[in-house]
């Protein structure tokens, strides 16, 4: 009887592992919908790692299962296995290959991070249009932290921005304050809302601050998250790409009702957004509390 | 030989004058300086802590059966999640792996009669019970509620008395860990039997050396961070109070400079256990002794420079995000070297399906997934999406439950005959393994998807869209809780009435198997002479019996 050549088996196994890995990595519905320019960048990077990871997973787990079955003790056999203490080229192989993979992933993650605008936060202060400022209580303590930084104006130096090359001035700047257990959004023209409303396709800057403890501003559909830190302004810069109603989630433990610290991020068409702005401008025109007065010029 | 040194069964025998022949049960509740007694004290203490931490997890998972906070009060929920993490790290994995197995095994593996500083060793253990008492007492003040990370300002304004007690408890166990680390380093450097060369040192001892070095460097930094927190809480300082000029980010750096290496403190000794258990039950030399030994040192070195990956969404400048992405990814390389080495050890073996081996292989299977998800988490772009979500919870439970807890069980089943002089019940052990393996995957696998889809961690209430996956996780957690029942029955029953174990029931080659089971009080009458490597399976001629004599077996 003709034996199936080992090389053929290896080839078939290799093709199968590749196909399964590609399917798991590229086709499984793991993520919520993509609603920002950054979302596809994150997803594609994750799916690349998932593809490589699945291949690695199948190979290692497969080896474990095959070895466990093939090399189980036969009844009555009390002898030891062949003394095989190592193999330099094999060990070099499984040191170097993962090293190369992680170096490629590392370089690629810098690339993805740059495209996401990770190097941009506060980096172009002359271009950032400050329609509004972060909540004043926070701003006053913002620059007492590092002596080296204290000469700078109270500009967020931490955050995630958009692609620097494409980053023009923000079309809309919103101040976001986290507090136990709500988000407050301050819009230009004095609009204050408990929800985030933004127009689709426009550059939006969020100046994020916290009034009591650390919170974290997260919109899963945007794939963006930035902590709101007391005493330290941060920012997020994004372009929403899809009209819809998405959750804003607090991702940093902030107290007993941390899980309830949720609101909506509504991405409007441009006309809808204009309508929302004008309705709210009228509704909020006479400020009826002193808290609001601070923000009205 | 050794007629006068025949070990007396722990419960029998007449009252002995100094020095006693064997310890009595009550000796285990005293300030005893025998490393074996201290090791058992750590193991039993930490297992009870594991039960308490596990019950808290059951309460947390029960709360999460429904999206509403309807089972326990949300403040109690936060106290449970804080103390679940704290207990599992500081009162279970670290004391069981380092204090328990480390103290019990290191002197036995290097042919020493005890640790270098026995009194210091006992002192280090006895810092733990008061620390545990502090945590228990803190629940009368509401319990610490700011997570095991205790980030200010939340930790400065929530349940302040309980938080202070929590800090003191951690400082106590941290001190214990520093004393222990110092002891291990000196013991390994100075106490090895002269015939043992460095390349004959069991890999568990290499792992303990790396662990201890890491603990010595990192633990004081945690003590500083928590000390400052304690001052802020009680003495009106404002290191971490943003409204009074403090900086909350500094705390995160101090905390994670310790607490990331703490992850390696919890896994390196377990890696050591793996390197002992797998060759014995696979009847194969460990594949790549040097690679596995040096990779421990590499992990501990690189592990000191990855801490900021816990802060990618915090106040972290871009260059730091990138630097720490790359350093984090590099840790995957030495870790992979170990995994591949263990898998290769299986190749060509004659694998015994013992409970110890099943847990060790289960660890391999779980840890591979935890490692891969760790690489994805280590990159800043992905972490910015999944940080502080259930994806992270899934990852670290694959590493810490699938890794550390599986490894601890592998170690307990492997060394139980040595420690107690009795064999475990294998069918019960296998039942324990099957329940644990299914339970762990059922609990933690769905959490990846929960996190990717948008469920944050540490919440008592959540969006109803996540209810189905959460149910699965909770059922898995119940199965895990049940899995401890066959384990406990097995431990108690086998300790009392299990079949007597010989000195070397697994035919293992490391030195702890050259003495009786349980070992004599001073370990050996005559110190053993090392004539071969610790993993020379398949290389020795057994025609004249196993290489070491087994006094206990002949007497039994
Ligand atoms: Cu919050």
pLDDT digits (tens, 9 = 90+) for B195-221: 899 989 999 999 999 999 988 988 888
Looking at residue B258, what is its pLDDT? 79
Residues spanned by the domain of A280? 124-286
pLDDT at A192 over 80: yes
Partnered with residue A265 across adjacent β-strands are A196, A246
Cβ distance A83 to B537 less than 8 Å, yes or no, reads: yes
Distance of CA B387 from the midpoint of ligand 1 (Å)? 14
Percent of chain A at pLDDT exceeding 70: 77
A219 occurs within a structural domain: yes
Q: Sign (positive/negative) of CA torsion B154, B160, B163, B168?
A: positive
Question: Could you tell me the residue ranges of all domains in chain B?
Answer: 37-555
Does residue A111 sit in the same domain as residue A181? Answer: no
Does residue A54 sit in the same domain as residue A171? Answer: no
- Decide: residue B492, CB within 10 A, 0-12 exposed, 13-18 middle, 19+ buried: exposed
With cut-offs at 50, 70 and 90, classify the pLDDT of residue A161.
Answer: low
Contacts of A94 in chain B (CB under 8 A): 336-337, 340
**For residues A83 and B289, what is the distance between their CA atoms, to the nearest angstrom?**
13
Q: How many structural domains comprise chain A?
A: 2
Helices (H), B115-202: 118-126, 128-138, 154-157, 160-190
**For residues B85 and B456, what is the distance between their CA atoms, to the nearest angstrom?**
16
8 A C-beta contact, residue B287 and residue B538 = no
Does residue A155 sit in the same domain as residue A204? Answer: yes
pLDDT in tens, B315-359: 677 777 778 888 888 888 999 999 999 999 999 899 999 999 999
A297 occurs within a structural domain: no
Looking at residue A153, what is its pLDDT? 37
For residues B270, B272, B275, B278, the Cα torsion angle rounded to the nearest 10 degrees is -40
Task: Give the phi and the psi of residue A177 in degrees, each rounded to 5.
Answer: -115, 130
Does residue A12 sit in the same domain as residue A131? Answer: no
Shortest Cα distance, chain B CAs vs residue A269, angstroms: 24
With cut-offs at 50, 70 and 90, classify the pLDDT of residue B117.
Answer: very high
pLDDT at A106 over 80: yes
Q: Quick one: angle between helices B355-378 and B406-420, nearest 10?
A: 150
Mean pLDDT of chain B: 88
Of the three residues A115, A148, A173, the one that is the final residue of a domain is A115
Across the A/B interface, how many CB contacts are shorter than 8 Å?
A: 286
From residue B7, alpha-carbon distances to B3, B26, B108, B325, B364 in Å are: 9, 18, 16, 54, 37
**For residues B477 and B442, what is the distance between their CA atoms, to the nearest angstrom?**
8
**For residues B89 and B84, what is the distance between their CA atoms, to the nearest angstrom?**
9
Does residue A101 sit in the same domain as residue A161? Answer: no
Choose, out of A57, A134, A253, the residue to mutate when testing the contact with B (most B CBs < 10 Å): A253
Q: Quick one: angle between helices B248-282 and B203-234, nearest 10?
A: 160
With cut-offs at 50, 70 and 90, classify the pLDDT of residue A286.
Answer: low
Looking at residue B7, what is its pLDDT? 41
Looking at residue B301, what is its pLDDT? 86
Of A149-163, B279-293, B340-354, B479-493, which range is least confident?
Answer: A149-163
Any chain B CB within 8 A of the CB of A141?
yes
pLDDT at A165 over 80: no
A77 occurs within a structural domain: no
Does residue A143 sit in the same domain as residue A282? Answer: yes
**For residues B430 and B443, what is the distance between their CA atoms, to the nearest angstrom?**
20
With cut-offs at 50, 70 and 90, classify the pLDDT of residue A6.
Answer: confident
Any chain B CB within 8 A of the CB of A95?
yes
pLDDT average, residue stretch B11-20:
46
Looking at residue B23, what is its pLDDT? 81
Of A69-78, A210-219, A285-294, which range is least confident?
Answer: A285-294
A157 occurs within a structural domain: yes
With cut-offs at 50, 70 and 90, classify the pLDDT of residue B307.
Answer: confident
pLDDT in tens, A26-70: 878 889 999 998 899 999 999 999 999 999 999 999 999 999 999
With cut-offs at 50, 70 and 90, classify the pLDDT of residue B424.
Answer: very high
**For residues A181 and A167, what is the distance between their CA atoms, to the nearest angstrom?**
32
pLDDT at A157 over 80: no
Contacting residues for A13 by C-beta, under 8 A, at least 6 apart = none
Distance of CA B291 from the midpoint of ligand 1 (Å)? 45
Of A17-21, A175-179, B64-68, B398-402, which range is least confident?
Answer: A17-21
With cut-offs at 50, 70 and 90, classify the pLDDT of residue A188.
Answer: confident
A13 occurs within a structural domain: yes
Does residue A103 sit in the same domain as residue A131? Answer: no
A291 occurs within a structural domain: no
Looking at residue A83, what is its pLDDT? 84
Contacts of A134 in chain B (CB under 8 A): none
DSSP B334: H
**For residues A295 and A286, what is the distance between their CA atoms, to the nearest angstrom?**
12
Distance of CA A148 from the midpoint of ligand 1 (Å)? 30
With cut-offs at 50, 70 and 90, classify the pLDDT of residue B190.
Answer: very high
Looking at residue B20, what is its pLDDT? 64
Polymer length of chain B? 556
With cut-offs at 50, 70 and 90, classify the pLDDT of residue B545.
Answer: low
Q: Quick one: angle between helices B289-302 and B248-282, nearest 10?
A: 170
**For residues B512 and A78, what is the distance between their CA atoms, to the nearest angstrom?**
21
Does residue A179 sit in the same domain as residue A256? Answer: yes
Choose, out of A78, A213, A226, the residue to mutate when testing the contact with B (most B CBs < 10 Å): A213
| Facing A225 at nearest CB: one of B245, B285, B313 | B313
Q: Sign (positive/negative) of CA torsion A239, A242, A245, A248?
A: negative
8 A C-beta contact, residue B154 and residue A214 = yes
pLDDT at B108 over 70: yes
pLDDT average, residue stretch A128-147:
36
Does residue A152 sit in the same domain as residue A101? Answer: no
* Three-state DSSP state, A176: strand
8 A C-beta contact, residue B204 and residue B273 = yes
8 A C-beta contact, residue B312 and residue B383 = yes
* Three-state DSSP state, B530: coil
DSSP B96: I
Percent of chain B at pLDDT exceeding 90: 64
pLDDT average, residue stretch B415-420:
95
Instruction: Examine residue A159 and say whether the peptide bond preceding it is cis (omega within 30 degrees of 0).
Output: no
pLDDT average, residue stretch B235-259:
85
* Three-state DSSP state, B73: coil
Name which of A4, A269, A40 is nearest A163 in CA terms.
Answer: A40
With cut-offs at 50, 70 and 90, classify the pLDDT of residue B125.
Answer: very high
With cut-offs at 50, 70 and 90, classify the pLDDT of residue B5.
Answer: very low
A296 occurs within a structural domain: no
CA terminus-to-terminus distance, chain A: 92
Looking at residue A216, what is its pLDDT? 94
Percent of chain B at pLDDT exceeding 70: 93
Sheet of A224-228, strands arranged across:
A196-199, A262-268, A244-250, A215-219, A224-228
pLDDT in tens, B368-384: 999 999 999 988 889 98
Side-chain-side CA neighbours of B493 within 13 Å: the count stands at: 11
Name which of B403, B404, B401 is nearest B393 in CA terms.
Answer: B401
Name which of B112, B236, B250, B99 is nearest B180 in CA terms.
Answer: B99
Looking at residue B346, what is its pLDDT? 93
* Three-state DSSP state, A235: strand
- Provide the CATH number for the domain around residue A214: 2.60.40.420
CATH classification code of B37-555: 1.20.210.10
Looking at residue B314, what is its pLDDT? 75
DSSP secondary structure, B227-242, as one string:
HHHHHHHHS---TT-G
Q: Quick one: angle between helices B406-420 and B248-282, nearest 10?
A: 50
Does residue A22 sit in the same domain as residue A145? Answer: no
Contacts of B77 in chain A (CB under 8 A): 256
pLDDT average, residue stretch A235-262:
92
8 A C-beta contact, residue B285 and residue B538 = yes
Does residue A64 sit in the same domain as residue A130? Answer: no
Looking at residue B264, what is its pLDDT? 85
Looking at residue B62, what is its pLDDT? 96
Partnered with residue B456 across adjacent β-strands are B389
Looking at residue B16, what is its pLDDT? 41
């Amino acid at each position: 009887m003709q034996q199936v050549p080992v090389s053929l088996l290896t080839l078939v196994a290799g093709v199968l592992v590749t196909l399964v890995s590609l399917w798991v990595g590229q086709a499984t519905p793991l993520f919520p919908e993509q609603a920002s320019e950054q979302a596809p960048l994150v997803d594609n990077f994750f799916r690349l790692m998932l593809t490589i990871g699945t291949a690695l997973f199948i190979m290692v787990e497969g080896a474990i299962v095959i070895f466990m079955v093939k090399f189980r003790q036969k009844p009555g056999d009390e002898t030891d296995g062949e003394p095989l203490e190592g193999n330099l080229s094999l060990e070099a192989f499984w040191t170097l290959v993962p090293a190369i993979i992680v170096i490629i992933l590392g370089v690629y993650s810098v690339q993805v991070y740059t495209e996401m605008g990770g190097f941009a936060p506060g980096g172009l202060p002359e271009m950032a249009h400050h329609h509004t400022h972060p909540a004043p209580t926070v701003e006053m303590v913002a620059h007492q932290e590092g002596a080296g930084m204290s000469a700078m104006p109270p500009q967020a130096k931490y955050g995630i921005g958009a692609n620097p090359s494409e980053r023009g001035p923000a079309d809309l700047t919103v101040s976001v304050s986290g507090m136990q257990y709500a988000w407050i959004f301050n819009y230009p023209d004095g609009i204050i809302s408990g929800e985030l409303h933004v127009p689709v396709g426009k550059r939006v800057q969020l100046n994020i601050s916290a009034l009591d403890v650390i919170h974290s501003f997260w919109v899963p559909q945007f794939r963006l998250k930035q902590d709101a830190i007391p005493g330290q302004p941060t920012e997020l810069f994004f372009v929403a790409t899809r009209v819809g109603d998405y959750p804003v989630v607090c991702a940093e433990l902030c107290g007993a009702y941390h899980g309830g610290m949720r609101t909506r991020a509504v991405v409007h068409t441009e006309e809808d957004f204009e309508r929302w702005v004008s309705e709210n401008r009228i509704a909020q025109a006479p400020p009826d509390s002193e808290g609001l007065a601070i923000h009205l010029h | 030989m050794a007629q006068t040194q025949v070990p007396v069964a722990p419960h029998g025998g007449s009252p002995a004058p100094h020095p006693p022949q064997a310890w009595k049960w009550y000796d285990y509740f005293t300030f005893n300086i025998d490393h074996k007694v201290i090791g058992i004290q750590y193991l039993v203490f930490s297992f009870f802590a594991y039960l308490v931490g596990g019950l808290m997890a059951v309460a947390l998972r029960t709360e999460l059966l429904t999206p509403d906070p309807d089972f326990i009060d949300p403040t109690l929920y936060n106290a449970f999640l804080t103390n679940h993490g704290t207990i599992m790290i500081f009162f279970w994995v670290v004391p069981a792996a380092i204090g328990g197995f480390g103290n019990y095994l290191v002197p036995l593996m290097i042919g020493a009669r005890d640790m270098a500083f026995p009194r210091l060793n006992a002192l280090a253990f006895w810092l733990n019970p008061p620390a545990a008492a502090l945590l228990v007492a803190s629940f009368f003040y509401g319990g610490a509620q700011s997570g095991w990370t205790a980030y200010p300002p939340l930790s400065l304004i929530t349940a302040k008395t309980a938080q202070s007690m929590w800090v003191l408890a951690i400082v106590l166990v941290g001190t214990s860990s520093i004393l222990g680390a110092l002891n291990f380093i000196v013991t390994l450097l100075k106490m090895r039997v002269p015939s043992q060369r460095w390349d004959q040192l069991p890999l568990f001892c290499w792992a303990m050396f790396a662990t201890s070095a890491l603990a010595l460097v990192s633990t004081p930094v945690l003590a500083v961070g928590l000390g400052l927190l304690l001052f802020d809480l009680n003495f009106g300082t404002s290191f971490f109070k943003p409204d009074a000029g403090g900086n909350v980010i500094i705390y995160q750096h101090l905390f994670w400079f310790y607490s990331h290496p703490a992850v390696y403190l919890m896994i390196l000794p377990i890696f050591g256990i793996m390197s002992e258990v797998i060759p014995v039950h696979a009847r194969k030399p460990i594949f790549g002794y040097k690679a596995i030994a040096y990779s421990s040192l590499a992990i501990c070195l690189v592990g000191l420079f990855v801490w900021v990956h816990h802060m990618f969404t915090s106040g972290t400048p871009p260059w730091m995000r990138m630097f720490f992405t790359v350093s984090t990814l590099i840790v995957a390389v030495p870790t992979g070297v170990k995994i591949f080495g263990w898998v290769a050890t299986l190749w060509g073996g004659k694998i015994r399906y013992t409970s110890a081996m099943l847990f060790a292989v289960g660890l391999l299977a779980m840890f591979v997934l935890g490692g891969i998800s760790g690489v994805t988490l280590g990159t800043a772009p992905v972490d910015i999406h999944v940080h502080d979500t259930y994806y992270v919870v899934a990852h670290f439970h694959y590493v810490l439950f699938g890794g550390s807890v599986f490894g601890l069980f592998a170690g307990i089943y492997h060394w139980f005959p040595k420690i107690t002089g009795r064999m475990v019940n294998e069918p019960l052990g296998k039942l324990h393994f099957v329940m644990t393996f299914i339970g762990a995957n059922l609990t933690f696998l769905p959490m990846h998807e929960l996190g990717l889809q948008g469920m944050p961690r540490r919440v008592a209430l959540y969006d109803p869209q996540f209810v189905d996956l959460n149910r699965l996780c909770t059922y898995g957690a119940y199965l895990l809780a049940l899995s401890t029942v066959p384990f406990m029955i097995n431990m108690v029953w086998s300790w009392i009435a299990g079949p007597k174990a010989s000195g070397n029931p697994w035919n293992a080659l490391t030195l702890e198997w050259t003495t009786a089971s349980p070992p004599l009080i001073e370990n050996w009458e005559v110190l053993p002479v090392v004539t071969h490597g610790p993993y020379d399976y398949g290389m020795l001629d057994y025609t004249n019996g196993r290489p070491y004599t087994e006094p206990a077996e002949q007497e039994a």
